[in-house]
């Protein structure tokens, strides 16, 4: 079963994925793949440029997205093609923030979406990531509307509460996924 986790920027996808890992779910984050392709000292400047210039962003995405997709597909195929043990019931979730934007959603059996209010997203980007309000707004405006992502997803995890609330949601989602995966 192919499961994807998406959502908006600063909605808590990484923390949710951490909780999934603690509950025994394997995850692969598309952002980690992208980070492996772009040197750390270039990321912030590159991000500033591509979020300000849609043509530059499209050009960068045209080079990076095929590599990311191939690595995710290989990761899902690893258990099927000869990986170990009980691969038929192993839960694997690919974290793909731009899942709908790159039109990969049809390839997934279940799509999870972590969502937050715009106010919480801005609060997290400015307080925890050090973005200016302008940078935060630029990044939000560059992404698909979060309500659209939620509408297209099978399961929506609302993350405007505490970290413990999000942990409980992860436990609920894992129980649901384990039940679906055994059918």
**pLDDT tens figures, 160-173:** 999 999 999 999 99
Which helix (H) or strand (E) covers residue 3, if one does? strand 3-7
- What single string gives the DSSP state of each residue in 40-65? HHHHHHHHHHHHH-HHHHHHHHHHHH
pLDDT, greater one: 85 or 143: 143
Which pLDDT does position 137 carry in this prediction? 93
With 50 as the cut, is the pLDDT of residue 95 above it?
yes
Domains of the chain, earliest start first: 3-181 (3.40.50.300)
| Confidence category of residue 83, pLDDT binned at 50, 70, 90 | very low
Identify the bridge partners of residue 53 per DSSP, sorted by sequence position.
none
Query: Does residue 128 contact residue 168 with C-beta atoms inside 8 Å?
Result: no
pLDDT in tens, 106-154: 999 999 999 999 999 999 999 999 999 998 998 898 889 999 999 999 9
């Amino acid at each position: 079963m192919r499961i994807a986790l998406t959502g908006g920027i600063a909605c808590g996808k990484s923390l949710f994925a951490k909780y999934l890992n603690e509950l025994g779910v394997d995850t692969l984050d598309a952002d980690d793949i992208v980070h492996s392709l772009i040197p750390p000292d270039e990321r912030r400047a590159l991000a500033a440029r591509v979020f300000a210039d849609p043509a530059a962003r499209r050009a960068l995405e045209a080079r990076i997205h095929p590599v990311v997709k191939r690595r995710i597909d290989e990761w899902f195929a690893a258990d099927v093609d000869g990986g170990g043990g009980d691969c038929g019931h192993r839960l694997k979730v690919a974290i793909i923030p731009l899942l709908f934007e790159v039109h990969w959603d049809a390839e997934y059996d279940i799509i999870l979406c972590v969502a937050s209010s715009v106010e919480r997203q801005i609060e997290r980007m400015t307080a925890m990531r050090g973005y200016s309000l302008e940078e935060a707004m630029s990044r939000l405006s560059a992404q698909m509307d979060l309500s659209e992502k939620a509408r297209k997803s099978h399961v929506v995890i609302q993350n405007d509460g505490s970290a413990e609330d999000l942990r409980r949601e992860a436990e609920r989602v894992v129980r649901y996924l384990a039940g679906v995966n055994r059918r």
